């Protein structure tokens, strides 16, 4: 057994051990808005439910380890005191990952990651239409845990409204965990899935992914490619050479690309769509 003193290792090293050891962790897919009405969407795996009466969720947008900056989500909840916490299932995991790309302030991750904005009933931030459960919340408090890179900020949320898709309920009206098919974060690139165990999702590019809005229309509106498929195609820093928004792809090309994407072979998938 090795023994680690947090004071004797770098924050990055300690961060890696903690995230790999305390797992699986549920994902708070938080949608917020700023004072100007700009929408932001970002996932956080420092998250759980802590009370039913009152109904309280807490998630933590930590300060970035690399440069000690804070995330737009934290700025927004501090300014508006509202958030929607959306639950992530397997069918949307690649899109969720794409949304975690460090887009500039004011860029709408709903658009970049291909999600549908649905108006909330009690708060201003929109819900993620594809999410199986959506929790409208007011922010009761924010507790700052430190001022250095890696320090958390506990966002204490009171649930005002719960939206649950009927298709994930069992015959007794309870949430069926298999139908929910929620995903969770493990260490590194690893995720957990209720149905089938662990799987990998490569981290988004250090450079910015082009996003759904930059995909050719024939690909974006494909009846063959799923949201997860499109998110993998959109997580490139530029369209392959020679491809324009007018690209037309046959069903056969799309099916071939889908087969490559299921193997994680994004470059080969783009080649299939081009040729």
Tens of pLDDT, residues 145-200: 999 988 999 999 999 999 999 999 999 999 999 999 999 999 999 999 977 889 99
CA dist 250 → 152, 173, 215, 225, 265 (Å):
48, 42, 16, 12, 19
**Tens of pLDDT, residues 29-40:** 999 999 999 999
Both tokens assigned to 70 = 């804070």
pLDDT of residue 102: 87
Contact predicate 73/44, CB 8 Å: yes
Cα 220 to its chain centre, rounded Å, is 19
Hey, what's the torsion of the CAs at 123, 124, 129, 134, to 10 degrees? -30
CA dist 237 → 97, 191, 241 (Å):
15, 24, 12
Could you tell me what percent of the chain has a pLDDT over 70? Answer: 99
Helix (H, G, I), strand (E, B) or coil at 158: strand
Q: Give the DSSP letter of residue 87.
A: P
Q: Which domains does the chain have, with CATH numbers?
A: 11-200 (2.30.110.10), 212-274 (no CATH)
Round to whole Å and give the CA distance between 109 and 3.
41
pLDDT at 203 over 90: no
Contact predicate 228/193, CB 8 Å: no
Both tokens assigned to 136 = 């409208």
The helix/strand count (H/E) of the chain reads as 9, 13
Q: How many residues does the chain have?
A: 275
């Amino acid at each position: 057994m090795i023994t680690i003193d947090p004071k004797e290792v770098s924050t990055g090293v300690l961060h890696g051990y903690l995230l790999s050891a305390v797992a699986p962790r549920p994902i708070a897919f938080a949608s917020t808005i700023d004072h100007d009405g700009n929408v932001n969407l970002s996932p956080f795996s420092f998250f759980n439910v802590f009370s039913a009466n009152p109904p309280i969720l807490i998630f933590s947008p930590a300060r970035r380890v690399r440069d000690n900056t804070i995330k737009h989500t934290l700025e927004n909840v501090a300014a508006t005191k509202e958030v929607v916490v959306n639950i992530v299932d397997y069918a949307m995991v690649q899109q969720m990952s794409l949304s975690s790309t460090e887009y500039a302030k004011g860029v709408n991750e709903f658009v970049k990651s291909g999600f549908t904005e649905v108006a909330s009933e009690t708060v201003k931030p929109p819900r993620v239409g594809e999410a199986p459960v959506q929790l409208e919340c007011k922010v009761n408090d924010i507790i700052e845990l430190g001022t250095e890179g890696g320090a958390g900020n506990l966002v204490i949320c009171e649930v005002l409204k719960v939206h649950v898709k009927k298709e994930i309920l069992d015959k007794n009206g309870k949430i069926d965990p298999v139908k929910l098919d929620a995903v969770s974060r493990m260490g590194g690139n690893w995720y957990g899935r209720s149905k089938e165990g662990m799987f990998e999702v490569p981290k988004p590019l250090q450079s910015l992914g082009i996003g759904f809005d930059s995909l050719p229309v024939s690909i974006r509106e494909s009846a063959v490619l799923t949201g997860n498929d499109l998110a993998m195609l959109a997580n490139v820093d530029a369209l392959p050479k020679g491809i324009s928004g007018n690209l037309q792809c046959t069903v056969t090309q799309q099916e071939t690309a889908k087969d490559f994407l299921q193997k994680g072979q994004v470059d080969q998938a783009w080649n299939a769509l081009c040729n």
